Chain A
Amino acid sequence: MQASRARLFKEYKEVQREKVADPDIQLVCDDSNIFKWTALIKGPSETPYEGGIFQLAFAVPEQYPLQPPQVRFLTKIFHPNVHFKTGEICLDILKNAWSPAWTLQSVCRAIIALMAHPEPDSPLNCDSGNLLRSGDIRGYQSMARMYARLAAMPKKG
């Protein structure tokens, strides 16, 4: 158990140092619990999520980094691989392809990559997956854009 704590502490220090280096990711550790983290990530450019800020919640298991953290979107997002209601994410590296070499920071990067490259063949959000699979790129983009506007962008005025 000590190992996971030590490792998270190392990551915490790393994050403080890298804060400026990666402007797309802002990782914050819960004040009272080092096993709870939140992250704010920027929607990647040239995607419907561009301009949005998405919040992720991390629940880190005691066996970390030997077991993957549980990550979900707190911000509503319309994406084939994210559950529309719970924010659960279907991403191989968070399941069986996890390697202890990953960090919370690199998981965030992987999620940003997933936002830019949805996998419609293993959908958690079937409506979104169906739009993409049927080739209705515009339909998918406008839905995703709409939800990003509604949920991930600060209201102006």
Chain B
Amino acid sequence: MEDYFSSADEYCYHDYYDDDDDDRDASYGLQEIETEVPLPCTKGPSCEVITKESLLAAQREDLRRIMDLLSLKEHLARTLLIHYRWDVDKVIVVLVEKGKDKLYAEAGVTVSEHDNLSSELPSMVMCIICIEEVSATEVTTMDCGHCFCNNCWTEHFIVKINEGQSRRIRCMEFNCYAICDEAKIRSLVSARDPNLSEKFDRFLLESYIEDNKRVKWCPSVPHCGNAIRIKDDEFCEVECACGLQFCFNCLSEAHSPCSCLMWELWSKKCQDESETVNWITVHTKPCPNCNKLVHKDGGCNLVCCVCGQAFCWLCGGPTGKEHTWTSISGHSCGQYKEDQGKKTERAKMDLLRYIHYHNLFKAHTDSFKREAELKETIQEKISHLEERQSSKDFSWVTNGLDRLFRSRRVLSYSYPFAYYMFGDDSVKLEMTKEEKEIKQNLFEEQQQQLHANVEKLSLFMGEPFDRYPEDEVEELRMKIINLSVITDRLCRKLYECIENDLLDSIQLVRHRIAPYMSRGLEKASELSICWETEA
């Protein structure tokens, strides 16, 4: 404890106005002290807000890269990118490894070779869909060379758009996987129903968000209309321009140091099981590729999601098209393994454990809510103080309060983490008993320290310092600054302990945890548009 204080003092006095930090942090008086462990160098913003207005620009940026790289038309570039989930790098990798033809074939892109064909058509053409003879002016030939009458095409497009398939409307010919030219779709559909054509355009635009690994809708309710794009690691916690903080990976509230899987299990456990939830768990399974819930309405157990991913209905694992029941590589569904014997007596113990951790979690989230109310009274106290001694800087109060919020948050989520880390089988962390004991002691030691200091900070923050004489205010200021440094360091240590000592590298793959943000979650910045506007 002692050395924390002394080192904190040093930082306090020597590095207080260290100026190699970003400008936007200048307003945070305490920031420089707190970042004694160098943060990973910030190379521009790691997350950006995409609003309704900037969506088109954001999409066009990626389209442009592909169009330039492969000299493709816009709709083909879009088809390609939709297939590869807007991952430009992936497109490039496939191009290099498998070649252009394979790249196009996989995405259903046909580079037009049939443009001249339409002029060679006889005056009357037989449309095999409506089985009618149609004049050559009334038919449309797609890039794949298949020709049907405009009426049938339009009907086909309307059905597909209404089915929500706008992003990959295929040719009507059997076994033709070519994606239809969006310009042709647009002109045919808008002649019949301009509203639907608009809907089609919106679907294409929103594909940039919905089919993109790096972009997600902000989960705010009611929806703020924004989406967030991240630079590289999807395991991070962000704050949208609307103020909502969330985990980018699983879209629920920011929950580190709990992993997404743990948090999902925990929140399910805490929530009352409504009928809807019951129905969903009984009747649907998440697609292993896009995670949309899939409802099986018939057919065999090899099901296919709208995104095109095939998976095994029994175990939920992804399968290739050549899935067979006898050999499914990588998983063994239907093999019963559990040892039934000890189950019943353990259930009771599990319940007790759960209640223990849940009470702690609840206690801290409740304190968090109460402390949030403190914000107003603190403001009052600051204004009182300012009246008395106008020259002083009171940023230490608000910074201390922010620190209290952040540390409290970390502390409360550390309980569900501990619940799954040291016991519950649903997470399957393989450890020997001794190993578990050592790890649990290590973790709880850190958790306790953090707990003690957070409570102390909370106590100081609640003091009626506006009525204190000046020297006592100064004393409190020092205490709060020091405690802020300590809790920040303890939070960081807790994250490091989880990452380095508790979870091994294999477990970390399943339980990726968003990194600790000493300054609070990163606010998504406005999108910087780096392409030139089209004339």
Contact = CB atoms under 8 A, between A and B. Distances in A.
A binds B: yes
Contacts of B132: 10
A66 B158 CA distance: 10
Which of B175, B176, B299: most chain A CB closer than 10 A? B299
B130 A101 contact: no
A65 B129 contact: yes
A78 to B, nearest CB: 16
Which of A10, A95, A100, A123: most chain B CB closer than 10 A? A100
Interface in B140-193: 151-152, 155-156, 159-160, 172-176
B299 A101 contact: no
Interface string A102-140: 100000000000000000111110000100010000000
A3 interface: yes
Nearest to B304: A96
Contact of B325 (A81, A93, A96, A133): A133
Contacts of B298: 88
Given A99-B173, A99-B175, A133 B301 contact: no
Interface in A47-96: 63, 65-67, 81, 88, 90, 93, 95-96
Which of B175, B298, B304: most chain A CB closer than 10 A? B298
B159 A63 contact: yes
Contacts, number: 65
Given A6-B130, A90-B300, A96-B304, A121 B325 contact: yes
Contacts of B323: 121-122
Contacts of A67: 159
Nearest to A103: B131
Nearest to A6: B130
Nearest to B131: A10
A7 B159 contact: no
Given A3-B151, A99-B175, A102-B174, A123 B325 contact: yes
Contacts of A10: 130-132
A36 to B, nearest CB: 19
A3 B155 CA distance: 9
Which of A66, A95, A133: most chain B CB closer than 10 A? A66
Contact of B129 (A7, A97, A121, A124): A7
B291 interface: no
B397 interface: no
Contact of A7 (B131, B160, B325, B326): B131
B57 interface: no
Interface in A16-43: none
Interface in B207-227: none
Which of B152, B174, B300: most chain A CB closer than 10 A? B300
Contacts of A120: 325
Given A6-B130, A121-B323, A100 B300 contact: no
B395 interface: no
B325 A129 contact: yes
Nearest to A70: B298
B174 A101 contact: yes
B293 interface: no
A124 B300 contact: yes
B128 interface: yes
A114 B20 CA distance: 73
Contacts of A7: 129-131
Nearest to B322: A121
B360 interface: no
A150 B491 CA distance: 74
A65 B132 CA distance: 14
Interface in B50-89: none
Nearest to B299: A90
B261 interface: no
A89 B175 CA distance: 20
B326 A133 contact: yes
Contacts of B130: 3, 6-7, 10
B324 A100 contact: no
A70 to B, nearest CB: 9
Given A14-B131, A65-B129, A123-B300, A99 B172 contact: yes
Nearest to B146: A101
B159 A66 contact: yes
A121 B325 CA distance: 6
B143 to A, nearest CB: 17
B152 A100 contact: yes
Contacts of A121: 302, 323-326
Given A66-B155, A129-B325, A122 B175 contact: no
Contact of A101 (B128, B304, B325): B128
A122 B173 contact: no
Contacts of B156: 66, 100
A88 B301 CA distance: 14
A133 B175 CA distance: 28
A114 to B, nearest CB: 13
Contacts of B176: 99
B174 to A, nearest CB: 4
Interface of B: 128-132, 151-152, 155-156, 159-160, 172-176, 298-302, 304, 323-326
Interface of A: 3, 6-7, 10-11, 14, 63, 65-67, 81, 88, 90, 93, 95-97, 99-102, 120-124, 129, 133
Given A101-B174, A102-B174, A122-B301, 6 more contacts: A3-B151, A10-B131, A90-B300, A101-B128, A121-B302, A121-B326
5 contacts: A7-B131, A100-B129, A121-B302, A122-B323, A124-B300
The 3 closest A-B pairs by CB, nearest first: A99-B174, A122-B300, A10-B131
